[in-house]
């Protein structure tokens, strides 16, 4: 008996042979770099010199007080409006109004197209939208069509409009995923609930408030979580469209981290900002998870 249980324990440890390759890759190429980033963040280092100078929390103070770095963090939060709030709202409108549309050929084609931006690299979206926003681009063409030609401008070159213009590319990228996810979710809501609400005399708005919204709680949570992470850690779109400019008007933490490290050779500052960004992501995502999963036990 004793021999058998010892063999079984050995057996359970032997199972680690299966997990070892993953642990190795993960440890060397993810955990170790994360620990290094935290370590670098306490030093002043140009990335070349053999010695690093310990500066304590000075790089963190800079990340939270220096106007350029601070504004990049603020822009990341502004992006939540464009990457999350707008797409989820659009998605809800689409899902709620298309609840009763049967999936035919038209529906399939439309769904495929709606989803298309989701699979494109952010960089590709950046190029396409740079073109949309250019002087002769589609946005200005439309403004001329509707008689608002006086508003036409080079959108991403404007200090005032660059941030919303770039942010809206995020809206474009996320709307498809949110729409398709929420449409799938609406399809799973029991039609009896709508029937009951109608019998109670609920209008379209009340049906939306009392049936659709609660029924989509989990899907909304998923959309919000994914798009918030994308908003806070955005890099591709901004780097390709504006590199953070004009001035610092579209600077986001991702691009600032890149610039600090590879243009300014301030490895410590760059890592401190990256750590602040990672903490910001956790600080925003963790409560969201808790909020949207709160009633999971009921299911």
Partner 1 sequence: MNTRQARQKAPRYALLGAVALYSVVPLLSMFSAAIMPQSVIPEGLNFTLHPQWHNFVAAWSLANMTTLLKSSVLLVLGVVPVAVLISTLAAYAIAVLEIPLGKLFYFVLLLTLALPFEIVVIPLYFQDQSMGLLDSRWGLVLPLIGLNMPFAVFWMRSHFVNMPRELFEAGSVDGASSWQLFRRVHLPLAQPALASLGLLMFLSTWNQFLLPLVLMSNPNEWTLAGALQTFQNKYGTNEVLLAAGAVELMAPTIIVYLVLQRHFIKALIQGAVKG
Site for partner 1 in 230-249 (CB under 8 A): 232-233, 235-236, 239-240
89, 97, 160, 188: residue in contact with partner 1 (rule CB under 8 A): 97
Residue 242: helix, strand or coil by DSSP? coil
Within 8 A by CB and 6+ apart from 128, the residues are: none
Q: How far apart are CA 250 and CA 153, in angstroms?
A: 17
Shortest spacing between CB 119 and partner 1, in angstroms? 5
At how many degrees (to 10) do helices 67-80 and 162-187 cross? 30
Shortest spacing between CB 203 and partner 1, in angstroms? 16
- Residue 44 bridge partners (DSSP): 53
5, 51, 100, 263: residue in contact with partner 1 (rule CB under 8 A): 100
58-66, 77-85, 153-161, 254-262 -> range binding partner 1 (CB under 8 A): 254-262
Interface with partner 1: number of residues (CB under 8 A): 103
Q: How far apart are CA 251 and CA 230, in angstroms?
A: 15
Q: How far apart are CA 74 and CA 163, in angstroms?
A: 11
Q: Per-residue contact track with partner 1, 199 to 218, x per CB under 8 A? A: -------------------x
Please report, as residue ranges, which positions from 153 to 172 form the binding site for partner 1 (by CB under 8 A): 172
Assess 291 for contact with partner 1 (CB under 8 A). no
Of 220, 219, 243, 223, which Cα lies nearest the Cα of 231? 223
Assess 82 for contact with partner 1 (CB under 8 A). no
62-70, 195-203, 206-214, 255-263 -> range binding partner 1 (CB under 8 A): 255-263
Q: What are the two backbone dihedrals, phi and then psi, of residue 54, each rounded to the nearest 5 degrees?
A: -70, 125
63-71, 81-89, 128-136, 291-299 -> range binding partner 1 (CB under 8 A): 128-136
């Amino acid at each position: 008996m004793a021999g058998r249980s010892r063999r079984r324990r050995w057996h359970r440890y032997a199972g680690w042979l299966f997990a070892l390759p993953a642990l190795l890759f993960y440890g060397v190429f993810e955990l170790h770099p994360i620990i290094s980033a935290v370590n670098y963040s306490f030093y002043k280092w140009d990335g070349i010199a053999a010695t690093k100078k310990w500066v304590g929390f000075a790089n963190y103070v800079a990340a939270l007080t220096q106007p350029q770095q601070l504004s990049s963090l603020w822009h990341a939060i502004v992006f939540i409006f464009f990457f999350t709030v707008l797409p989820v709202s659009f998605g809800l409108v689409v899902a709620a109004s298309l609840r009763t549309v049967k999936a035919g050929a038209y529906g399939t084609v439309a769904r495929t197209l709606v989803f298309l931006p989701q699979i494109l690299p952010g960089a590709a979206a950046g190029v396409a939208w740079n073109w949309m926003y250019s002087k002769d681009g589609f946005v200005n063409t439309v403004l001329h069509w509707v008689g608002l030609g006086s508003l036409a401008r080079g959108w991403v070159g404007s200090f005032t409009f660059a941030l919303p213009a770039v942010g809206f590319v995020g809206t474009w990228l996320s709307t498809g995923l949110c729409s398709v996810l929420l449409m799938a979710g609406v399809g799973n809501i029991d039609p009896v609930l709508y029937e009951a609400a109608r019998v109670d005399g609920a209008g379209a708005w009340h049906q939306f408030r009392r049936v659709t919204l609660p029924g989509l709680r989990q899907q909304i949570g998923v959309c919000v979580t994914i798009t918030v992470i994308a908003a806070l850690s955005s890099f591709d779109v901004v780097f390709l469209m504006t590199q953070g400019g004009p001035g610092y008007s579209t600077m986001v933490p991702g691009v600032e981290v890149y610039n600090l490290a590879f243009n300014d050779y301030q490895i410590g500052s760059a890592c401190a900002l990256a750590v602040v960004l990672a903490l910001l992501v956790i600080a925003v995502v963790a409560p969201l998870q808790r909020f949207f999963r709160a009633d999971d036990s009921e299911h």
